[in-house]
Amino acid sequence: MSKFENLVVINKGKTCGYALKLMDKNKISRLLVVDDDKLTGIITYSDIVNTLNNPRKRKFLNNARIRVSSAMTKDIIAANSSSTIKEMANIMLKNKISSVITEDAKNDRINLITKTDIIKQALNSDVPVSLISTKDAISVPSKTTIVHVRKIMEENGIHRLLVVDGDSLAGIITEKNIADALKLFRDLTADYNHPDIKLLKVTDFMKKDLKTLEENAKVKDAIKIMLEHNISGIPIIKEDGKFGIVTKTDIVRGIADGLIFTL
């Protein structure tokens, strides 16, 4: 019996393109990386975006040749199997990660605890989302390039941006959307010497069918939407016509700070 039973894993020799397909198929945003049943790293959408957007690799390697081993994060953060939900939330925030592993030595198994697992423990919370949300979310026009959007995300340490057309909310662009855009770009331009990645625009890859919340919504409302639609951030429509956003990270931070109590 494998120590990774019930977990989706990927061999370090597989390609980043295959990793994206595996994530999409299983509706997850990270994979544990293994080599001969040994844990060697973890790969996320962010890791893949950083690799596919790397100028050197963009110039010399096509999508099919970029391996998981060159994109994965090797240092995996672990928590004690007896850690509380609040303690795990603090570990994630402190290390700016979306998951931690725990080791069950008795059964020789590895468990992966994600932000999704954390927020499930607050499904009954009546705390207003306005208490934990970002009041003025960063937004970009729909004609913004994917390259510029990625730069904004890196500078602000965020994983999604709202997209606007004038004063109207048009969509949301996430790291997953960017990873898919970069993979498609590499696939379509593999035979070109100098393809222009700046041709990729937000409007072609953003998610347009949005779920939104009003300012008076509760944390439990946000969590239910996130779980039902497999999303990590929800735009908030404010009374002044501006937009906020609540994310899984906001909820995890609320739990870590003691503002949101868990089951």
What CATH architecture is 9-117? Roll (3.10)
Statement: residue 38 has pLDDT above 50: yes
* Annotated domain spans of the chain: 9-117, 129-256
The DSSP symbol for 74 reads -
pLDDT digit string, tens, across residues 117-143: 999 999 999 999 999 999 999 999 999
Average pLDDT over residues 141-164: 94
pLDDT at 145: 93
Instruction: Pull the structure tokens for residue 148.
Output: 């510029």
Same fold flag, 9-117 and 129-256: yes
Q: Determine the Cα–Cα distance for residues 158 and 33; give it in Å rounded to an integer.
A: 24
User: Locate tokens 């844990």: which residue?
Assistant: 39
Average pLDDT over residues 247-259: 96
Q: Determine the Cα–Cα distance for residues 219 and 208; give it in Å rounded to an integer.
A: 23
pLDDT at 60: 46
Check: CATH 3.10.580.10 for 129-256? yes
First to last CA, the chain: 32
Strand order in the sheet with 168-174: 139-141, 160-165, 168-174
Average pLDDT over residues 31-57: 87
Non-local (6+) Cβ contacts of 117 within 8 A are: none
Percent of the chain, pLDDT > 90?
Answer: 74
